[in-house]
Amino acid sequence: MATSPKDTRGHDARAESGLPRERLVVVGNGMASLRFLERLTEIAPGRYDITCIGAEPTVAYNRVLLSSLLGGEVDEAACAFRGLDWYADHGIRLITGAPATRIDRENGYVRVGETHVLPFDRLVLAVGSLPIRLPKPGMDLPGVITFRDLADVAAIRKAAVQHARAIVIGGGLLGLEAAVGLARLGVETTLLHVMDRLMERQLDHHAAALVKRAMEARGVRVILKADTARLEGDGRVERLVLADGTALPADLVVMSVGVRPSVALAQAAGLAVGRGITVDDRMTTSDPRIFALGECAEHRGQIYGLVEPAYEHAETLARHLAGEPAEYRGTALSTSLKVSGLPVFSAGIVDTPDDAEAIVLSDPGAGLYRKLLVRDGKLIGAVFVGDIAEQGACKGLIRSGDPIENVDDLMFGRPVPEPLAA
């Protein structure tokens, strides 16, 4: 993309006046951080003197592919986005394997590890989330592993030897993916979910039942309404005990019960924090020199756990710091995934509200389910299992709030025009 004249002028004006470039420090080198750096160096190359600090020992990688990495479908190299040379070529100083430990707002610096200090004029926090561990006895036993980063995947794969017995706690998207990955490795896998259906935030009962069946067909035992009471073992996890007293043997427990935005650094620095680091429509925190984006940010009371909003944050902030007008208004979320090869899509409202009409097509034998929720002629929700071809159209209609022109097109797809006779 070409450099906008405005950005170049801004950069040149500063350089021409003999002023040093502003120092921009980015804390976190995950997916939001990298997308932000890519866009900023594209729109406003050379405008900032950039340093990026990442706690993980590697460059940013595609976290979404961790499930495939766990199941052995891809290797670590396939998860990488950019090599070290990309950072160097774009004038970005990258420090890996070193967490930022303190922000000193008064003196304008970030402390890295115990000793290093990085002064900043502007600071971006892209520190993501931390996986939650259930506050139950035995959760810290060796063999109980979260599922968030490359180190977790390495630990799970090490423990997941053939014929090992694994329990995954959590029937959300990540729990399902972890369970399928483990089953693919030949591990005897049980998935526990405390609710009465899988992925209850994205799927209604019908869709969730189809997904459960697909999991079972892949060799995953699914137990719903499973309330974990404690983990037990002598020096290492050996069994999980449910609230009803059932004891399930386990050589490995994968904890996938959600994430919590990383706010500790911001909170200690006195920035406004709710569930995440509070930002306005320009991703600016309560300190005008400090910004936050991705899973650590809370915008209009909303925190997100998906890539799409993180990338929208990155785009907004890159434009803003390049001096272009940019505002983030929130992201209407949708979920599109494959559970063991079974395509699943959901967007908007999932359970039918009293004032809406549900249009349903269900063919359990074929593993097919489609539900559209319509209120006042407008689409407010959609759940598809098996065939998700119309997902783009549904997403667009839910976001725009435009009236539906033809429900059948959404339900059955647009008819393919007959080829003209020669």
Which spans of this chain sit near ligand FAD (rule: CB under 6 A)? 27-33, 53-56, 63-64, 66-67, 99-100, 126-129, 147-148, 174, 262, 265, 294-295, 305-308, 310, 337
Q: Alpha-carbon distance 208 to 190, whole Å?
A: 17
In whole angstroms, the minimum distance from the beta carbon of 293 to ligand FAD comes to 7
In terms of CB distance, is 138 or 170 closer to ligand FAD? 170
Q: Alpha-carbon distance 165 to 182, whole Å?
A: 10
In terms of CB distance, is 67 or 316 closer to ligand FAD? 67
Q: Which amino acid is at 184?
A: R
In terms of CB distance, is 295 or 315 closer to ligand FAD? 295
In whole angstroms, the minimum distance from the beta carbon of 106 to ligand FAD comes to 19
Q: Say which residue the tokens 């729109």 belong to.
A: 43
Taking alpha carbons only, the member of 411, 408, 355, 363 closest to residue 380 is 355
Taking alpha carbons only, the member of 279, 276, 298, 281 closest to residue 290 is 279
The residue whose Cβ lies closest to ligand FAD is 30
Q: Alpha-carbon distance 133 to 254, whole Å?
A: 10
Contact of 153 with 129, CB cutoff 8 Å: no
Taking alpha carbons only, the member of 326, 280, 310 closest to residue 129 is 310
What value does the CA radius of gyration of the chain take, rounded to a whole number of Å? 24
In whole angstroms, the minimum distance from the beta carbon of 186 to ligand FAD comes to 20
In terms of CB distance, is 29 or 316 closer to ligand FAD? 29
Q: What angle do CA 392, 396, 397 make, to 5 degrees?
A: 120
Taken in order 114, 116, 121, 127, the sign of the CA dihedral is negative
Q: Alpha-carbon distance 165 to 174, whole Å?
A: 19
In terms of CB distance, is 314 or 372 closer to ligand FAD? 314
Taking alpha carbons only, the member of 93, 94, 92, 95 closest to residue 41 is 92
In terms of CB distance, is 148 or 239 closer to ligand FAD? 148
DSSP line for 54-110: -SSSS--B-GGGHHHHHTTSS-HHHHB---HHHHHHTTEEEE-S--EEEEETTTTEE
In whole angstroms, the minimum distance from the beta carbon of 309 to ligand FAD comes to 8
Q: Say which residue the tokens 């063919």 belong to.
A: 363
In whole angstroms, the minimum distance from the beta carbon of 95 to ligand FAD comes to 9
In whole angstroms, the minimum distance from the beta carbon of 156 to ligand FAD comes to 11
In terms of CB distance, is 79 or 192 closer to ligand FAD? 79
Using DSSP, state whether 188 is helix, strand or coil.
Answer: strand
In whole angstroms, the minimum distance from the beta carbon of 261 to ligand FAD comes to 9
In terms of CB distance, is 33 or 189 closer to ligand FAD? 33
In terms of CB distance, is 14 or 111 closer to ligand FAD? 111
In terms of CB distance, is 384 or 410 closer to ligand FAD? 384
In whole angstroms, the minimum distance from the beta carbon of 275 to ligand FAD comes to 14
Q: Alpha-carbon distance 384 to 411, whole Å?
A: 9
Mention every residue, 6+ apart, whose C-beta is less than 8 A from residue 124: 24, 25, 26, 27, 33, 36, 290, 291, 292, 293, 317
Q: Alpha-carbon distance 55 to 248, whole Å?
A: 35
In whole angstroms, the minimum distance from the beta carbon of 152 to ligand FAD comes to 8
In terms of CB distance, is 180 or 383 closer to ligand FAD? 180
Supply 33's token pair. Answer: 């951080």
In whole angstroms, the minimum distance from the beta carbon of 222 to ligand FAD comes to 19
Q: Alpha-carbon distance 387 to 363, whole Å?
A: 11
Taking alpha carbons only, the member of 52, 30, 258, 25 closest to residue 135 is 258
In whole angstroms, the minimum distance from the beta carbon of 123 to ligand FAD comes to 12
Q: Alpha-carbon distance 119 to 128, whole Å?
A: 22
